[in-house]
Structure 1
Amino acid sequence: MVYPMPSMDTEEWELYPSSCFGAEIIEYTAISQDGDDQERDLAISLDVILPDDLLEKVLSMLPVVSVIGSESVCKRWHEAVHVLRCTLNRMAPQKPWYFMFTCSDEVVSGFAYDPSLRKWYSFDFPCIEKSNWSTSSSAGLVCLMDGDNRSWVFVCNPITKDWKRLADAPGGRSADYSALAISASRKSHCYTVVVARCNQVPGEYYLWELSINLYDSETGEWITPFKEVLHRWRGGDECIICEGVLYYLVYSTGILVNEEHRHRVLIYDLTSRHNHTSLMSMAIPVPCSLTCGRLMNLREKLIMVGGIGKQDRAGIIKGIGIWQLCDKEWHEVSRMPHKFFQGFGEFDDVFASSGADDLIYIQSYGSPALLTFDMSQKLWKWSVKSPMMKRFPLQLFTGFSFEPRLDITS
């Protein structure tokens, strides 16, 4: 079966074979190379003289798509790639991919965008069954939580298709609000998962019970090291882990004189475990009035992408900003230029945004257009046109980013 795919340098579509993205092989279209037939006899194959360790080093520096394609070159290359799969920390860091799919009750299937080669691939994501599942990613692993049963949590490597279901998370099947975060170690490949739950206290409109549930891959067990009753504040679906610290975005449920303080970020040190200090007493206000906020870990730095609300109507979005938290103070990194903001068409007050390394993705729920921001270059740029099409006016899209890796398992 073939799928329409964009070429690397244009937005024209080419036919590509269906990609398996399994642990054994992935099929990709070969990239043609210009060569002079008359000089072929003079060429010396580096494969003959290159030692195994140098071959593995060269392969480890390639984009993951090229590494997987190298398996089919010959037996020696296949064995070299196998070594990369089985050896910790041999592969170079990869730019994060973005998996885009439609919001529906149907089985989730979509396309993954590779920023290194600027290509989209047809992609079947393991585990995820519905678009209402929560997701979080770190160092090649993606954590997923069932939207209908909040106790079901999965961890997978989307490239190798390796996955596992964790022990049931504490708190039961449902929660008024829940947020998910994962942090994986690049050295040991151990990981920590956090499920933050927030439920309204029965009969109390302004009281919300927050619980932080922590899973350790080394012990395979959950603990609940922290609980607090929030007054006039509630949790949401947005949290992230940076350097062993959980950051959790909360929302005001009361009437505020200053609309800029409708959101705050709670900070919880995961290493302290049983800490009885009130998190609200140390909460950090957001830098301005936001319609929504998206938290992400970029090189162990907390980054927030937020919809900037209008001064007189805070729920109406007028732009998008990016901030970095330094010593509990927000520093503005960039604001989306107006031409890119207009390029999405009608932009809702909430949107999808995630990232890793130095790359941030932003996507409107009402459009398959995908915008990127490079933190190191401070550069805004559209991705190659997505193969997903808007087939009816109310069709919605969403997505999330993950780092493609071969050398980490769940």
Structure 2
Amino acid sequence: MKPILISVPSFSRQTPSNLKIGRFRYQKEAANEKEENSDERVKWKIGRFLYQKEESNEVEEMDERIWNRIPEDMMIRVLSSLPITVILRSTLLSKSFKSIISSSYFLKLNSELSPNTHQPWLLFINRNLADSFLAYDPCLNKWIDLSFRFLQFLVRPITAGDGLICLLYGTQSSFGLCICNPISKSFNIIPLPVIPFCQFYTFSGLFVDRITGIFRLVLFVIRPISVGPEQFLLFTEVYDSQTQLWTLVKRFPVSRPLNPSKTISNGVMYCILKRFPVSIAAFNIQTMEWVMLEAPVPHSVTLVRLMDHNGMLVMIGGFRTELLIDEIGIWELDNSSKNWKRIGWIPKEVCDLFLMSATRSLSCIGHGDLIYFTTMGCPFLIMYDISRKHLKVIDPSPRLSDPQYHGSQGFCFEPRLSH
């Protein structure tokens, strides 16, 4: 089952007059489509069966006599290429499926899959501690309840990285930090930093080594100082899961406060400094040092956001005309020339359909190939696929009307079976 998508040109400004965004529905692949070989026919039938079970929300035992005739190597390849939620449900359908999915070989194969197979979820965070949060799965075009009830305490996600989520738990008088994989339901309570977290640190980032599972949690905050052209200092502390120790990093002076928008790409965390002109601070996890990124942002770009696109740093921003956003541009950083190369755009005709507030302001969150756009007053979300250059409308979950989600924030989460 594939979503119907709208193709958006990325370099030409010639926009088809009939370009519209409507509501999109899943459509079944044609059953009479000819397959190239018998392997592909088997894969298609297995995938269709599991998707139908996911859609019907039913769990039925499969006939072992049928599934035992399928070669195990083919079964592993098929299962490993399915969305995470479908894989998890598959463990309830067959004993052989459960055995395959629990094997170390399957977990390794699944973790090595291309990002196109396991696309990042959009995780919404409400203002309160809770035991579950709302997430959108783009592979299934489905809102799901991402549960943390197995932890047996209330939590609030603060950052995520490659299958892991850093959680703040407890109350104002008693709190702690936890690194958790909500898919495998594994977690580690980590010691608090040297400087009290809730009273000081306001930003965070999570670096994860996909092969070893070793992670580093970065907590940082910016504080004003009284003298000098650089009027603020960045205080940073890093926790290493291998040594289980916190390390204080050398303070870094900056001229302006930080914007909450940040991203991690290829071992470096990038943070935007507020106010014009837009500038970017970068923290290298290997050298444990901050530097200013020497890549000037075009002056006509506003509301800048950053994301990782398969190891490359990508910038999203709006073009203003008379203080209003007309178009949205997407750029990729050329590491050799330190220039921003335009790789996509969302034209005015599309922006007019979902930038409904008086200021036409927007917020966006992205990772991998996907960018999610939201804006005040718009009853739906927009998802843009960078590689395919497609737009898609996402109907919001009814839970977003709950007052606890008003003014909510979010980030992308890459679901993983391992770690």
Equivalence for 2:387: 376
Q: Say whether the 8 Å CA contact 1:246–1:268 is kept in structure 2.
A: yes
Q: What are the residue-to-residue correspondences of 1:355-370 with 2, within 5 Å?
A: 355-367=366-378, 369-370=380-381
| Shift in alpha-carbon separation, 1:190–1:86, aligned structure 2, 3 A | farther
Match of 1:214 among 220, 225, 238: 238
- Secondary structure of the residue aligned to 2:108 is coil
Equivalence for 1:15: none
Structure 1 counterpart of 2:387, which letter?
Answer: S
Q: Say whether the 8 Å CA contact 2:304–2:318 is kept in structure 1.
A: yes
- Secondary structure of the residue aligned to 2:197 is coil
| Shift in alpha-carbon separation, 1:165–1:303, aligned structure 2, 3 A | farther
Equivalence for 2:298: 287
Equivalence for 1:157: 181
Runs of 4+ in 1 over 6 A off after TM superposition: 146-149, 203-206
- Tell me how far apart the structure 2 counterparts of residues 267 and 182 of structure 1 sit (CA, whole Å): 14
Structure 2 residues not aligned, in runs of 5+: 1-22, 28-52
Equivalence for 2:340: 330
Range with greater deviation from structure 2 (53-62 or 167-176): 167-176
Give 1:350 deviation, angstroms: 5.6
Give 1:265 deviation, angstroms: 0.9
Structure 1 counterpart of 2:383, which letter?
Answer: T
Give 1:199 deviation, angstroms: 0.8
Give 1:365 deviation, angstroms: 4.9
Give 1:188 deviation, angstroms: 1.7
Structure 2 counterpart of 1:405, which letter?
Answer: R
Q: Say whether the 8 Å CA contact 1:267–1:283 is kept in structure 2.
A: no
- Secondary structure of the residue aligned to 2:86 is helix
Give 1:7 deviation, angstroms: 11
Question: Is 1:242 aligned to 2:295, yes or no?
Answer: no
- Tell me how far apart the structure 1 counterparts of residues 360 and 201 of structure 2 sit (CA, whole Å): 19
- Secondary structure of the residue aligned to 1:100 is strand
| Shift in alpha-carbon separation, 1:356–1:229, aligned structure 2, 3 A | closer
Structure 1 residues not aligned, in runs of 5+: 1-5, 11-26, 33-42, 253-258
Give 1:60 deviation, angstroms: 1.0
Deviations 1:34-70 (A, max 9, x none): xxxxxxxxx9955223344443332111111221111
- Tell me how far apart the structure 2 counterparts of residues 85 and 368 of structure 1 sit (CA, whole Å): 43
- Secondary structure of the residue aligned to 1:346 is coil
Give 1:72 deviation, angstroms: 1.2
Output the TM-score relative to the length of structure 1: 0.73
| Shift in alpha-carbon separation, 1:384–1:201, aligned structure 2, 3 A | same
Cα RMSD, aligned residues only: 3.8
Give 1:374 deviation, angstroms: 0.8
- Tell me how far apart the structure 2 counterparts of residues 176 and 286 of structure 1 sit (CA, whole Å): 30
Equivalence for 2:286: 271
Give 1:335 deviation, angstroms: 2.4
- Secondary structure of the residue aligned to 1:168 is coil
Q: Say whether the 8 Å CA contact 2:155–2:167 is kept in structure 1.
A: no
- Tell me how far apart the structure 2 counterparts of residues 288 and 177 of structure 1 sit (CA, whole Å): 31
Equivalence for 1:233: 256
- Tell me how far apart the structure 1 counterparts of residues 351 and 395 of structure 2 sit (CA, whole Å): 17
- Secondary structure of the residue aligned to 2:383 is strand
Equivalence for 1:88: 108
Deviations 1:69-110 (A, max 9, x none): 111122221111222698434343401122235x54474755
Q: Quick one: percent identity of the two aligned structures?
A: 24
- Secondary structure of the residue aligned to 1:233 is coil
Q: Say whether the 8 Å CA contact 2:81–2:110 is kept in structure 1.
A: no
Give 1:286 deviation, angstroms: 2.1
- Secondary structure of the residue aligned to 1:55 is helix
Structure 2 counterpart of 1:379, which letter?
Answer: H
- Tell me how far apart the structure 1 counterparts of residues 127 and 198 of structure 2 sit (CA, whole Å): 20
- Tell me how far apart the structure 1 counterparts of residues 145 and 329 of structure 2 sit (CA, whole Å): 31
- Tell me how far apart the structure 2 counterparts of residues 407 and 123 of structure 1 sit (CA, whole Å): 17
Question: Is 1:30 aligned to 2:47, yes or no?
Answer: no
Give 1:203 deviation, angstroms: 7.9
Equivalence for 2:213: 189
- Tell me how far apart the structure 2 counterparts of residues 337 and 229 of structure 1 sit (CA, whole Å): 38
Structure 1 counterpart of 2:80, which letter?
Answer: S
Output the TM-score relative to the length of structure 2: 0.72
Q: Say whether the 8 Å CA contact 2:100–2:106 is kept in structure 1.
A: no
- Tell me how far apart the structure 2 counterparts of residues 157 and 395 of structure 1 sit (CA, whole Å): 26
Equivalence for 1:71: 91
- Secondary structure of the residue aligned to 1:50 is coil
Equivalence for 2:197: 173
- Secondary structure of the residue aligned to 1:189 is coil
- Tell me how far apart the structure 2 counterparts of residues 289 and 195 of structure 1 sit (CA, whole Å): 32
- Tell me how far apart the structure 1 counterparts of residues 130 and 417 of structure 2 sit (CA, whole Å): 25
- Tell me how far apart the structure 2 counterparts of residues 86 and 202 of structure 1 sit (CA, whole Å): 56
More helix by share: 2
Structure 2 counterpart of 1:114, which letter?
Answer: D
Deviations 1:173-203 (A, max 9, x none): 3577732222222222222222232111268
Deviations 1:225-275 (A, max 9, x none): 331222x322232332222223221124xxxxxx5x1x20123332223x5
Match of 2:351 among 341, 352, 377: 341
- Tell me how far apart the structure 1 counterparts of residues 300 and 120 of structure 2 sit (CA, whole Å): 29
